[in-house]
Amino acid sequence: MRGMERFTGSFTQQEPIPEDAIAAAVAVMRHGRLHRYNTLGDEAGETALLEQEFAAAMGSRHALAVASGGYALATALRAVGVKPGDRVLTNAFTLAPVPGAIASVGAVPVFVGVTEALVIDLDDLAAKAAGAKVLMLSHMRGHICDMDALMALAKAQGLTVIEDCAHTMGARWRGTLSGRHGLIGCYSTQTYKHMNSGEGGLLITDDADVMARAVMLSGSYMLYPRHLAAPPPEVFEAVKYDTPNVSGRMDNLRAAILRPQLARLSDQCAAWTARYRVVEDGLRGVPGLTVIDRPEVEDFVGSSIQVLLLDWPDEAVKDVLARCLKRGVELKWFGGAEPTGFTSRYDSWRYAPSERMPATDHILRGIIDMRLPLTFSLDDCALIARIIRAEVGAVGQALGARVNP
């Protein structure tokens, strides 16, 4: 019976590293020059080549490979001159590394509300912009806001925009790649992102001065001429003695693993979105469940999917999660009273106190989140949607009966 179907796959199992990436990694291990600046003669090194290729892929003048996405965010803040005590705006719906990066430089996170489309609330942003110079915009879970409207607002308010593109590498808004609207775009290559090196990060910018500071911050010492996607050496003259070394370089081993994955990025993004569409279609029309409609001008990457169970009692949401898990479908909930894994909320981060936002709290309480690894087939995705549909329907029907006896 379909009602008794069970999914047996893993929500944390990623695809194997491609064979050509494994071969490239083995070559690095054989010669032993893992440090990015440990090169011979005119050898460029895997990290410098990755930066050059990533800049070309993103259409950016400059790129820097670093140890993690969170490190990229903190480096971006330092590179644009954020100081201790500065107010930095960011989404209330994001993951802990974003406010963590802000707090790590001594700045104060100021949380901005979220809409039912799971993007930053531009009205709330306008209301909170006074006194801030930087917006760290999180494209949380791959949802891109109206970037035309946001950039117009940022220009009017004098805000520098740093884009957190951990979930939008390869995505576009009106044809422009994510990370190319703001001054800096930051990316992650942690295992569950669109390229997998276990941990890692990248940042891009067209601004030579900003990139020179970022390169110095990353721990280049005076070896910046070995970069292939950095500004020319003369740009470093103004910053090289005044910029602290906050070492966080990427190594050649991780870069070797990433370069072949970058060459496949477009195909991988399309494969994720195909899986997203199957689940999305399977969940439409379920009473009480809201599917997030994506704008036609947003070319998103569907490596995860979110739906809303708005106004559901906590116990009913927990019942849905438990019933789905019993059938092999692992869902995450951003509405829980305590953080679980990565599902913390702005009110969980006690180092960044904030006033309550009732409208945003209402939405956060309803967010259900699910990864879509490429190890899932399209048939797997259809099965997962059927299971969620059935269990939400069963709990919703029982809830309705209790409310309307």
Give the whole-angstrom CA distance, residue 197 versus residue 12.
15
pLDDT at 404: 41
Give the whole-angstrom CA distance, residue 198 versus residue 180.
25
Compute the average pLDDT of residues 91-109: 96
pLDDT of 402 strictly over 70: no
Compute the average pLDDT of residues 22-41: 96
pLDDT of 403 strictly over 60: no
Query: What is the phi/psi pair of residue 383, to 5°?
Result: -65, -45
Q: How confident is the model at residue 405 (pLDDT cuts 50, 70, 90)?
A: very low
- Per DSSP, 334 falls in state T
Q: Which residue has the tokens 């067209």?
A: 206
pLDDT at 364: 95
Give the whole-angstrom CA distance, residue 388 versus residue 373.
17
- Count of H-run helices and E-run strands, the chain: 12, 14
pLDDT at 257: 98
Compute the average pLDDT of residues 373-396: 97
Give the whole-angstrom CA distance, residue 320 versus residue 332.
11
- Per DSSP, 300 falls in state -
Q: How confident is the model at residue 1 (pLDDT cuts 50, 70, 90)?
A: very low
Q: How confident is the model at residue 399 (pLDDT cuts 50, 70, 90)?
A: confident
Give the whole-angstrom CA distance, residue 224 versus residue 231.
9
Please return the burial class of 297, using the count of CB atoms within 10 Å of its CB with bins 0-12, 13-18 and 19+.
Answer: middle
Compute the average pLDDT of residues 11-33: 97
pLDDT of 353 strictly over 60: yes
Q: What is the pLDDT of residues 257-305, one digit of tens each?
A: 999 999 999 999 999 999 999 999 999 999 999 999 999 999 999 999 9
Tokens representing 327 are 């059938």
Residue 171: closest CA among 140, 201, 202: 140
Compute the average pLDDT of residues 170-195: 98
Q: What distances in angstroms separate CA 188 from CA 61, 199, 361, one per listed residue? A: 19, 8, 27
pLDDT of 193 strictly over 70: yes
Query: What is the phi/psi pair of residue 363, to 5°?
Result: -75, -45
Cα dihedral: 334, 338, 343, 347 (round 10): 80
Tokens representing 322 are 């438990």
Average pLDDT, rounded, for the chain: 95
From 75-84, 167-176, 341-350, the region with the lowest mean pLDDT:
341-350
Q: How confident is the model at residue 401 (pLDDT cuts 50, 70, 90)?
A: low
Compute the average pLDDT of residues 32-56: 96
Give the whole-angstrom CA distance, residue 8 versus residue 21.
29
**Residue 84's beta-bridge partner residues?**
none
Give the whole-angstrom CA distance, residue 97 versus residue 95.
6
Give the whole-angstrom CA distance, residue 242 versus residue 237.
10
∠ CA(354), CA(359), CA(365), 5° rounding? 85
Give the whole-angstrom CA distance, residue 146 versus residue 294.
11
Compute the average pLDDT of residues 230-238: 96
Query: What is the phi/psi pair of residue 371, to 5°?
Result: -70, 155
Give the whole-angstrom CA distance, residue 121 versus residue 358.
13
Give the whole-angstrom CA distance, residue 51 versus residue 46.
9
Residue 370: closest CA among 393, 389, 347: 389
Alpha helices (runs of H) in 146-298, residue ranges in sequence order:
147-157, 208-218, 252-263, 265-283
Domains of the chain: 19-263 (3.40.640.10), 265-403 (3.90.1150.10)
Contacts of 152 (CB under 8 A, 6+ apart): none
Q: What is the pLDDT of residues 238-255, one digit of tens each?
A: 999 999 999 999 999 999
